[in-house]
């Protein structure tokens, strides 16, 4: 059974991530586009106060996420991160000023109703606190393969919506895998203390995948419009997390005819995400590559 603290910490993590998205996106718009997956993008962004503020938001979100995962199911905590999109747009509107357009309000309503309906129909249950190692092997292999494939597909495309969506898909899988590893590592801290936590492979696994997810996220934000990347990132993270919760931690969701309202709820989430991403504020946050051209491969040294 989900406790109020699980939902509270998950919502606080979503708010922190939303603030980080707004700040990081504005910083990413100030650096030139590149046809490559730029490891040096971090170096460029370190010079921007907005990006550093966004990183503080990421760290706060990680702490709240760890607290939520220590109290609840992965298949509950991560889907609540879907709320990051409307929260990012609302926070951005507060920062930029002005009123939220009717389409934006409709998008928020669709997303919230869809998420609530899908979770109510699925009724995820808490499983085990830790996943057996023999389950981690196929999970890591599948997630790693998807990340490499989607990121590779993005690298083969020029700047634009397809490239952004590919990087967002790879980032979504990386974020979901990070959450699963974080949940496992957090359970070690609770059971055996900080010494076991820092000695476990899961701790260094979620640290590495978290950095990878952030790199892919930054490149997705830089590569194209929010309309292409954010719905993929938001929905992908929720669906992959749900799958990992079921396969790794024995969490359960209702099947049978309950699949009908679950799918309908997910449809409303996608519809709402698209509505929000097409709004004027989303376009401002996206900076859809207008007025910027992709950096020629020979113009800069390899990063």
> pLDDT tens-digit profile of 179-229?
999 999 999 998 888 899 999 999 999 999 998 998 898 788 778 777 778
The two tokens of residue 250 are 């024995």
The CA distance from 46 to 52, in Å, is 7
Whether 297 is in a domain gets the answer: no
Please give the Cα distance from 267 to 246 (Å, whole number). 21
- In DSSP notation, 202-265 reads HHHHHHHHHHHHHHHHHHHHHHS-HHHHHHHHHHHHHHHHHHHHHHHH--B---GGGHHHHHHH
The closest of 276, 293, 284 to 160, measured between CA atoms, is 293
Residue 247 belongs to domain spanning: 4-286
Strands (E), 5-114: none
Burial of 50 from C-beta contacts in 10 A (0-12 / 13-18 / 19+): middle
Q: Does residue 292 sit within a domain?
A: no
**Separation of alpha carbons 179 and 210, rounded Å:** 9
How many domains are there within the chain?
A: 1
User: Which residues, at least 6 apart from 127, have a Cβ–Cβ distance to it below 8 Å?
Assistant: 73, 245, 249, 250, 251, 252
Residue closest to 62 by CA, chosen among 20, 106, 110: 20
- Tell me the residue ranges of DSSP E strands in the chain: none
> Is residue 154 in a domain?
yes
208 in a domain, yes or no? yes
pLDDT in tens, the chain (303 residues): 457 888 899 999 989 888 887 776 665 555 554 444 455 555 555 556 666 777 788 888 888 988 998 888 898 888 888 888 788 777 777 765 666 777 777 888 888 899 999 999 998 888 888 899 999 999 999 999 999 999 999 888 877 888 889 999 999 999 999 999 999 999 999 888 889 999 999 999 999 999 899 889 878 877 877 777 877 887 888 889 989 999 999 998 898 899 999 999 988 988 887 777 776 445 555 443 344 434 433 333 333
Give a yes or no: residue 300 inside a domain.
Answer: no
Asked whether residue 298 is domain-assigned, the answer is: no
- 166 occurs within a structural domain: yes
Phi, psi for 295 (deg, rounded to 5): -70, 125
* Domain assignment present for 294: no
Alpha-carbon distance values, 12 to 15, 41, 176, 270 (Å): 5, 28, 18, 22
């Amino acid at each position: 059974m989900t406790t109020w603290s699980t939902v509270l910490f998950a919502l606080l993590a979503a708010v922190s991530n939303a603030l980080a998205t707004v700040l990081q996106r504005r910083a990413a718009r100030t650096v030139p586009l590149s046809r490559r997956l730029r490891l040096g993008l971090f170096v460029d962004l370190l010079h921007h106060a907005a990006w550093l503020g966004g990183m503080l938001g990421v760290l706060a979100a990680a702490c709240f996420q760890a607290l939520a995962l220590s109290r609840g199911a992965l298949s509950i905590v991560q889907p609540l991160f879907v709320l990051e999109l409307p929260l990012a747009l609302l926070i951005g509107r507060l920062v930029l000023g002005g009123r939220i357009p009717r389409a934006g309000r409709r998008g928020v309503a669709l997303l919230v109703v869809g998420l609530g309906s899908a979770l109510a129909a699925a009724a995820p249950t808490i499983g085990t606190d830790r996943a057996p190692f023999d389950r981690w092997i196929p999970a890591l292999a599948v997630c790693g393969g998807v990340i490499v494939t989607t990121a590779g597909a993005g690298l083969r495309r020029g700047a634009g919506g397809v490239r952004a969506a590919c990087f967002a898909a790879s980032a979504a899988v990386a974020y979901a895998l990070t959450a699963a590893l974080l949940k496992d590592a957090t359970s070690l801290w609770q059971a055996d203390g900080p010494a076991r936590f820092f000695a476990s492979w899961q701790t260094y696994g979620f640290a590495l995948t978290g950095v990878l997810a952030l790199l892919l996220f930054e490149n997705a934000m830089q590569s194209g419009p929010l309309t292409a990347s954010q719905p993929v990132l938001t929905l992908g993270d929720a669906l992959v997390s749900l799958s990992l919760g079921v396969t790794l931690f024995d969490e359960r969701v209702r099947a049978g005819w309950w699949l009908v309202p679950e799918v309908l709820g997910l449809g409303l989430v996608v519809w709402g995400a698209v509505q929000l991403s097409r709004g004027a504020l989303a376009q401002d946050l996206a900076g859809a590559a207008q007025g910027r051209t992709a950096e020629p491969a020979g113009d800069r040294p390899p990063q």
